[in-house]
Structure 1
Amino acid sequence: MTRVLVVDDDPRLQRTLAIALRAHGHEVVTAGDGRTAVQSVAEDTPDVVILDLGLPDLDGTEVLRRIRAGSVVPVIVLSARHESDDKIEALDLGADDYVTKPFGVEELLARVRAALRRGGAQGQHLEPMTTDHFRLDFVERRATVAGVDVRLTPTEWRLLEALCREPDHLVSQQDLLRAVWGPSYGRESNYLRVYANQLRRKLEPDPANPRHLITEPGLGYRFHP
């Protein structure tokens, strides 16, 4: 049974989500504030986190930052903020998905299912990818840059897997979005931009002039070994 941590200070929404998630076979843990959420991630080891950004003690982005300091658990952010800058900030901090309030419970359940599938996916059929600067082991989920381990999030690994299956070939934005986030995605090009930039900062010797993770403007991305 998968365990879902619901972090929201609204008891009614907490209860609604808990009922829906349990009805679909999930174990549910709840937290009404940020500090409890961070503690729960460490102690309850959830398989996915649903995190509201509007919490009473800590801003949700700070909670996300603390979670990412020690865990790669998939995180779905909930927010009443519609501005694209807020979405990009959440993704940049390591969120796997972003759902704007108000939302349908069925939509959120679909996002949870997609996050669980992505979180459990492994690159068993991909050989390690080695460049002159870094090495990627997709089975062990281990990245090393100049011999030093670098932490990559599950979403970053999925993006690299999608690109490294066809090195030096263009992969369209739509194909990447569907491979990484699921079949309901296809227009969220800002997701790709955020994660590509994150990967360049972590892997490229000169992130401003990437040699390996190449953007083809308006088309997609390619990975050059």
Structure 2
Amino acid sequence: MIDDDVRMLRLVTQQLEASGHSPTGVADGLTALQALEADDFELIIIDVGLPGMDGFQVTERIRSRSDAPIIILTGHTETTTKLRGFRMGADDYVVKPFNSDELEARVRAVMRRTRATAPRGSETAGGHQIVGDFEVIEAQHLIGFRGEDVKPTRMEFKLLWQLLLAPNVVLPHTELLAAAWGPEYANDLGYLRVYIRRLREKIEPAPCGQRLSAPCKAWGTCSQRRAKLAAQIPLP
């Protein structure tokens, strides 16, 4: 956990330890980056309001070198703050002040998503999975489209993989959110907005002039023969 509030750092690490985790606490981003060079962590909690290198910058730096799930802590309730965290690579957020049980629930949910095994498509002898024009290496969270590497983050991979597993099928936003993030996130459209937008930025304009579409309610489709995603939600 990274937080310059010593009292908060102590309370949260004690709570996590009591829940069976083995937390490490540091007070600034530079120390956190140094710790990441020396050890691997299953999950990282970052306070946005860090001195010097703020929590968003730390999140971006960590994401560039680690795929460990990240939860950001913020005292801001504005959607823009939360969305910025997602863009930097965060997997979830908790708004201060928060109940320790809420944070523990978020920690367990994020770790459960990270450890979950996604359903499999048709596998080739080399361990690749072919879904229409997409080639998937699930163990490495790699997806290619017509020879081009999509380079998804872990959560982008999970969302796109859910869409690939249901070609030409309209999926309710609740189903997508529950499958990718967990049932407790079924109505959190903010997650879907950010990740659909990020996938669109990475995939479109696709080869042959094909594009990802975004109508305006909450569902998604992915054609096996075309790179087509749809999220019926207003994108930021």
Give the shorter-chain TM-score range.
Answer: 0.7 to 0.9
Does 2:182 align with 1:182? Answer: yes
Q: Can you give the 5+ residue segments of structure 2 that lack an aligned partner in the other structure? A: 123-128, 225-236
The answer as to whether partners of 2:143 and 2:157 remain within 8 angstroms in 1 is no
Does 2:202 align with 1:202? Answer: yes
Give the secondary-structure state (helix, strand or coil) at the position aligned to 1:223: coil
Give the secondary-structure state (helix, strand or coil) at the position aligned to 1:50: strand
TM-score (norm 2): 0.84
Task: Return the match for 1:65 from 48, 60, 67.
Answer: 60
Aligned 1:95-110 pairs, distance under 5 A: 95-110=90-105
Residues 57 and 44 of structure 1: is their aligned pair in 2 closer, same or farther, counting only changes over 3 Å? same
**CA-CA distance at 1:154 after TM superposition:** 1.5
Counterpart residue type for residue 28 of structure 2: D
TM-score (norm 1): 0.87
Q: Distance in 2 between matches of 1:87 and 1:214?
A: 24
Aligned 1:7-156 pairs, distance under 5 A: 7-123=2-118, 125-127=120-122, 128-130=129-131, 132=133, 134-145=134-145, 147=147, 149-156=149-156
**CA-CA distance at 1:100 after TM superposition:** 0.7
Percent of aligned pairs sharing the same letter: 38
The answer as to whether partners of 2:71 and 2:92 remain within 8 angstroms in 1 is yes
**CA-CA distance at 1:44 after TM superposition:** 1.9
Q: Distance in 1 between matches of 2:174 and 2:52?
A: 38
The answer as to whether partners of 1:138 and 1:161 remain within 8 angstroms in 2 is no
Counterpart residue type for residue 178 of structure 1: A
**CA-CA distance at 1:216 after TM superposition:** 4.6
**CA-CA distance at 1:144 after TM superposition:** 3.0
Tell me the equivalent position of 1:3: none
Structure ID, larger Rg: 2
**CA-CA distance at 1:136 after TM superposition:** 2.5
Tell me the equivalent position of 1:220: 219
Tell me the equivalent position of 2:232: none
1:186-211 deviation line (CA, Å, top 9, x unaligned) = 2221211110111122223349x864
Q: Distance in 1 between matches of 2:130 and 2:214?
A: 19
**CA-CA distance at 1:21 after TM superposition:** 0.7
Equivalent pairs counted in the alignment come to 217
**CA-CA distance at 1:27 after TM superposition:** 0.7
Tell me the equivalent position of 1:191: 191
Per residue, is there more strand in 1 or in 2? Answer: 1
Q: Distance in 1 between matches of 2:163 and 2:150?
A: 19
The answer as to whether partners of 2:45 and 2:73 remain within 8 angstroms in 1 is yes
